[in-house]
Structure 1
Amino acid sequence: MVSAVPDCSNSSLSCCFIKRNWFRLLESSKGESFPGKDAVYRFLNHAGFAWRRFLTSLSVATVRKVSTLTSVDRDTVFIVDDSMFERNRSKAVELLARFKDHATGAYYKGFRMLTMGWSDGHTFLPLDFALLSSSKSAINGMSENIDKRSHGYKRRQESLRSAPQVIASMLDRALAAGATASYVLMDSWFTHAPLIGEVIARGLDVIGMVKNDNKRFLVQGRKLSLKELYAAAFPVVSNKRGILRCIRTELAPDIPVRVVFVRHRTKKNEWLAILTTDLSLSVEDVIRIYAIRWDIEVFFKCTKSLLRLQKEFQGRSYDLLISHTTLVFSRYILLAWQHRQSTDARSFGGLFYLLCDEVGTLDWAVALQQLLDHINEIATKAGKKLSALIQRQLQQWIAVLPSYIKACLPISCCES
């Protein structure tokens, strides 16, 4: 099993760029060079692999490389958000639960994919994730055969914890691994006093959207709702259109915050509230930094549309879902690094299809090299005169090849 791990991991990472599923790939002429389907699924279903450590190490190493390309004055952030991980056609998937999609109001079967990533406003890199289930709306429970000492068991236990608890653990792991940021950006579902207090305790500031719910803000001894806070806020004079008001308040004792009110982009008669715990930021900087949060939405779209998240592997094991998601996130890190190194304005979609073409080009180059090796082998077995003739003809043929084809050939072949 251990000896097959590199082959299985490399094949699983590159499978998406070949534009074929495992069945079609193994049925093709390339199938002999890939591990068998059973070997791959045993690899993905194994509960003993530390997938989280792999993803975090890969992400942090890439963050360090990206940081060398980033100005020291540029703001870096952690972004926290969740997205649907749908398994609507499944019945026997481990820890399957029912959730409500708050965007559409419809219910779905699957998991909440809670994700934390790092961004500098140009490059987003996923650091950690958790596929959250629910003990209240669970359809299936945990497998009884899992080894309680394994990484898989710990991930299963984590899936039943609340999102704020998981986010705090994610921050601890990211900071311990060496990732650094100044702010934690979050949507309105997470901007609650207990979680904000946990973030502040770790030396980070929070910038997040505020939902108009039963929160109360302390202003001069009075507890105000968000609407009442808007009425008490002072108008802002700014060159930026859409910035309405701003006020300093307390979300809870010992949690001073500043709330900035901006006009709703599509509903002009409504406003949105953005909260920050960094009181030194200007209102323009609060909005500018919070806009980086959109990077994680692009990430979710890319992984589901291009990198086959939820679609590539089908299984009932929770371990397979974790390993599959980790591999998809690793592919995104590859695309993000390629995008950061590029000097043109190619999108992630363009880079994805470019890498697919490169995989095809590599296959063609391997076939050409095998042909040359075969010719050289025949030449060495022939007589001296025939061998010299073959070598001369081969050199003449190589000399007239286009430069882009020569680039695919080793120097040794061109000089032989």
Structure 2
Amino acid sequence: MGSASPKESRFGRFFHTSSVMCFETEACTCNRSLASVLLGFSKNTYYRFMQNPHINWLRFTILLAEKIINEHLKDLTSDQRADCFVFDDSLYSRTGYKKTELAAKVFDHVSMTYKKGFRMMTMGWTDGSSFVPIASSLLSSKNDQNVIGTTKKIDKRTIAAKRRIMAQSKGTDVVIQLLDQALKAGLTAKYVMFDTWFSNPHQIVQISQRGLNVIAMVKKSSKITYEFEGKRMNVKQILNVCKKRRGRSRYLLSVPVKVGDPAKDGAQIDARIVCVRNRSNRKDWIALICTDMTIDENEIIRIYDKRWDIEVFFKTCKSFLKLSTEYHGLSYDALTAHTAFVFLRYMFMSVEKRDDGTIGELFSTLSQVLSTILGNFILKYGPNREMAPGESS
């Protein structure tokens, strides 16, 4: 597997011996404090490294993900298997840290309340077997009144300033920025997926203009309309005027629509809306939209199931990789660096997980042997085994 070029992420100018040691320490000492590790440098060196405003951590994670995906994982993925870019955000909590730079009151759509911290906008790649985080941005608030943390005046030509400008941009705009940088680095996928928070006609048209198909969940909003049979309707109206499928069908409705307004969005594209019963509430329904008109409804539903991989990623990062709890600094640059290192650890895990399944017959044979050994062990030493004559319990 290749390595991301230090020069391309502006790492090279600061890549001296102490920086390498800091990098290795942060990447490989999850769940361990600095005091428990034998360091060849002081803690001040470590903190200066984390707060360095010149390192482009966004570029670094994108380049590393490109190497892992294109040179390692894609060779293990069938051409018939749909790989996808997935976008979602998750709360990066900073409760109790009022002086954290750019920390804001952000809306948490899980608890449906405002909390202190950031929205960690994340882009990932999945083929249904492996998930690789590609890039992220800790989003503050575009409204200065909601920003409760400190702000710094920085030269707008620098990486640090561009990072902060992105932090106070709209989430939908950041999605396009991250996607453009990933495509420029050489990453590709058949589909782009996201949930209702980023699903609007303008966003779908923008992504389609970049040569990518979209599969997303549709908002049940009266303000978002699609062209259906020559009329502008929202998704609820479309469902009401169409005949639903009866019985135990996997989906209720499938109709072709046109997305976007040429005057507002610059183009209008063909898409298909598929209405599906809600698993958690059979009386409710959800709607999916797909711009690939060549695949059927069952394939749309199957591919969208892969979006759940990013939810597993968020849970793993917060529960096991110490996202937002390991580093307690107040610098926005340092928090960005910490997030990049958490992504790096997850990349290691994805590669390690996929490696075991790539050794073919040897993997199958080892699995069978281990199962046999485990079975014999249980029979011999298990609690329900029969006692040998003269053997005491």
Please classify the TM superposition score into its range, dividing by the shorter chain length: 0.7 to 0.9
Q: Is the 8 A contact 2:91 2:118 kept in 1?
A: yes
Q: Is the 8 A contact 2:275 2:288 kept in 1?
A: yes
SS in 2 for 1:185: strand
Mapping for residues 243-258 of structure 1, pairs under 5 Å: 243-253=251-261, 254-258=268-272
Identity %: 35
- Quick one: structure 1 residues 308 and 186, their matched pair in 2 at CA, closer, same or farther if it must change by over 3 Å? same
- Is 1:55 the equivalent of 2:69? no
1:38 corresponds to which of 26, 30, 44: 44
SS in 2 for 1:320: helix
Q: Is the 8 A contact 2:66 2:185 kept in 1?
A: yes
- Structure 2 alignment gaps of length 5 or more: 1-13, 262-267, 359-393
2:114 corresponds to which of 107, 112, 116: 107
| 1:322 counterpart residue number | 336
Q: Is the 8 A contact 2:142 2:170 kept in 1?
A: no
Distance 1:45 1:284 in 2: 48
* One-letter code aligned to 1:85: Y
| 1:388 counterpart residue number | none
Q: Spell out, residue by residue over 1:275-297, the C-alpha distance to the aligned partner (whole angstroms, 9 max, x if none).
A: 11111110000001101100100
SS in 2 for 1:263: strand
Give 1:170 shift. 1.0
- Structure 1 alignment gaps of length 5 or more: 345-416
* One-letter code aligned to 1:306: F
Q: Is the 8 A contact 1:142 1:156 kept in 2?
A: no
Q: Is the 8 A contact 1:11 1:34 kept in 2?
A: no
| 1:207 counterpart residue number | 215
Give 1:103 shift. 2.0
* One-letter code aligned to 1:50: N
| 2:349 counterpart residue number | 335
Give 1:106 shift. 2.2
- Quick one: structure 1 residues 36 and 63, their matched pair in 2 at CA, closer, same or farther if it must change by over 3 Å? same
Q: Is the 8 A contact 2:124 2:310 kept in 1?
A: yes
Q: Is the 8 A contact 1:236 1:246 kept in 2?
A: no
* One-letter code aligned to 1:70: T
Runs of 4+ more than 6 Å apart: none
Count residues with an aligned counterpart. 334
Tell me whether 120-129 or 33-42 shows the greater mean CA deviation.
Answer: 33-42
Distance 1:219 1:148 in 2: 46
* One-letter code aligned to 2:188: T
Q: Spell out, residue by residue over 1:174-230, the C-alpha distance to the aligned partner (whole angstroms, 9 max, x if none).
A: 111111101100100111011111101100011000111121121222222221111
Give 1:314 shift. 0.8
Q: Is the 8 A contact 1:233 1:246 kept in 2?
A: no
Q: Spell out, residue by residue over 1:327-378, the C-alpha distance to the aligned partner (whole angstroms, 9 max, x if none).
A: 000000000000111239xxxxxxxxxxxxxxxxxxxxxxxxxxxxxxxxxx
Give 1:241 shift. 4.2
| 2:196 counterpart residue number | 188
- Quick one: structure 1 residues 122 and 237, their matched pair in 2 at CA, closer, same or farther if it must change by over 3 Å? farther
- Is 1:21 the equivalent of 2:60? no
Mapping for residues 2-401 of structure 1, pairs under 5 Å: 2-16=16-30, 19-23=31-35, 25=36, 30-31=37-38, 33-64=39-70, 65-136=72-143, 137-144=146-153, 146-213=154-221, 214-236=223-245, 241-253=249-261, 254-343=268-357
* One-letter code aligned to 1:259: I
Q: Is the 8 A contact 2:202 2:260 kept in 1?
A: no
Q: Spell out, residue by residue over 1:285-315, the C-alpha distance to the aligned partner (whole angstroms, 9 max, x if none).
A: 0001101100100000111111000011111
* One-letter code aligned to 2:252: L
* One-letter code aligned to 2:239: Y
* One-letter code aligned to 1:227: K
Between structures 1 and 2, the one with greater helix share: 1
Give 1:232 shift. 2.8
Larger Rg: 1
Give 1:233 shift. 3.3
Distance 2:350 2:129 in 1: 9
Give the RMSD, CA atoms, in angstroms. Answer: 1.7
Tell me whether 147-156 or 116-125 shows the greater mean CA deviation.
Answer: 147-156
SS in 2 for 1:167: helix
Distance 1:97 1:177 in 2: 31
Distance 1:84 1:263 in 2: 28
SS in 1 for 2:197: coil
Tell me whether 45-54 or 146-155 shows the greater mean CA deviation.
Answer: 146-155
| 1:362 counterpart residue number | none
Give 1:108 shift. 0.7
Q: Is the 8 A contact 1:115 1:128 kept in 2?
A: yes
Q: Is the 8 A contact 1:114 1:132 kept in 2?
A: yes
Q: Spell out, residue by residue over 1:221-253, the C-alpha distance to the aligned partner (whole angstroms, 9 max, x if none).
A: 222222111123344589x74311111112324
Distance 1:34 1:236 in 2: 67
Distance 2:93 2:216 in 1: 26
